[in-house]
A and B are shown apart, each in its own frame.
Chain A
Amino acid sequence: MFWPAPMYLPLLVSALLAVAAPWVGRRMPPRAGAWAMTCAAVVAAGTWVTELAILAFTVVGQLPLVAAQGPWSVRVLAAEDPVDREFAVGCAAVVLAMVVSATVASWRRGRALVSAWRECRELAAGGDLAVVDDPVPAAFAVLGLPGRVVVSSGMLRVLDARERSALLAHERAHLRHRHHLFSLILHLAAVVDPLLRPLERAGAFAVERWADEDAGAVVEDRPLVARAIARAALASGRAKRAALAATGGPVPQRVRALLAPPIPRRNGAALAFAALMTACCASLAVTAHDTERLFEAAMHAHATAGHLRPGR
């Protein structure tokens, strides 16, 4: 007989990983934290989708057309199936919705990346930098081959020479470490599994902090990076106060982190991530094995029935 509890265990472990990951990840150095949280997002979302698909398949497998492909006995499968029928139908609907929303989200993100790259390709650049003559302070990095740093003249004028180096180092760190991919993966994971939304935010913050620390290492002065961020944020805030939304953005946290000593490496945090991700995979393997046994039993029953009553 198949005990139902392990069938739902991967969903629980995946939820636990989704809740714990942002909390643990924030206590790690930004680079390690960004990697750990992105891996955790992939494992948690993967476990969630695979488990729902397995649960859904216990009812999909009862469709005569699908059962004929096995072939397995629909009657035995229905009798032995530990999963509630309505629940499995619900899982199937959720899997379908996830596939659709993940496809839509990847299409939209991909299109946005391509169109941003196209617009920036047309800007004349000196080296990796394109300057836009505009008093509104703005600076960003655009993914591409090669990537581009775009900065407005307004931004360059509010910073002094060393702060400018810090700004450029920050944006170059985004390009060098392919930070756009981290945020894309985190975003898609959160689209598939809404429980991962806090992880997407925490991961995005870690990526930003990673670029800050990288810039701090390049200019060999972390408080200088903090000053550049503060000055840039204040200047762009003043320039577009009308459109300002009270978002409580992460800028003060970034500045505070740069003024505090660097976060030491914590083996415990990395271990916690590894343990939870292993638990996810292990519970999924158990469920997959149980389901396999369920279908094997149904196949065996089908074969035996076929043997007893040839031609059925």
Chain B
Amino acid sequence: MTEKDGRGEARRRARGELEGEVLAALWAADGPVTAAVVQESVTGAAYTTVLTILTRLCDKGLVTRRRAGRGHVYAPVDDRAGVVAAGMHSLLDEGGDRAAVLARFVSDLSAEDEQLLEQLLHGALPDRLPDQE
């Protein structure tokens, strides 16, 4: 994606989507990071936009800001009690209708599927995948 296309894409994207992406980037980082680092992993967002979004996330209490050197670093607020995680597990572990209404990104894999995907990730395209049911 070229820089120009990236900017056009960012302009089209709703603000809410960018906010989600900034939050995702903070969670994916190993520790507190600067706004510049966040900007790198959010495709096509301007630095000032990222700063605005980070401020908004701080106001919502989802992100903490700490002074570091001449600037600030940001980190997501973690859920120490693990209450939310427990709730999510109960959502995911229950089978039947509960599981069916969640549009999950990936389903479970069999051992054979796993091998095929491993091959795929390491560049070797498997020449045969099981046929669709």
Contact = CB atoms under 8 A, between A and B. Distances in A.
A245 B1 CA distance: 39
A116 B91 contact: yes
A126 B57 contact: yes
Nearest to A131: B27
Contacts of A174: 103
A140 B43 contact: no
Given A116-B102, A126-B62, A245-B108, A134 B88 contact: yes
Nearest to A157: B28
Please name the 7 residue pairs, one residue from A and one from B, whose CB atoms are nearest each other, closest first. Answer: A127-B19, A129-B20, A161-B41, A127-B16, A126-B23, A249-B107, A112-B97
> Is the contact region of chain A dominated by helix, strand, or loop, or is it mixed?
helix
Secondary structure call for the B interface: helix
A187 B100 contact: yes
A133 B20 contact: no
Contacts of B97: 108-109, 111-112
Interface of B: 1, 5, 14-25, 27-28, 40-43, 53, 57, 60-63, 76, 78-79, 82, 84-85, 87-89, 91-93, 96-98, 100-114, 116-118, 120-121, 125, 129-130, 132-133
Given A127-B20, A131-B27, A140 B84 contact: no
Contact of B28 (A161, A175, A187, A250): A161
27 contacts: A127-B15, A128-B17, A131-B23, A131-B24, A134-B82, A140-B92, A140-B102, A143-B101, A151-B24, A153-B27, A161-B41, A165-B43, A171-B105, A201-B133, A205-B132, A229-B106, A231-B121, A232-B105, A233-B107, A236-B106, A244-B109, A248-B113, A248-B133, A251-B113, A251-B117, A255-B117, A259-B120
B17 A168 contact: yes
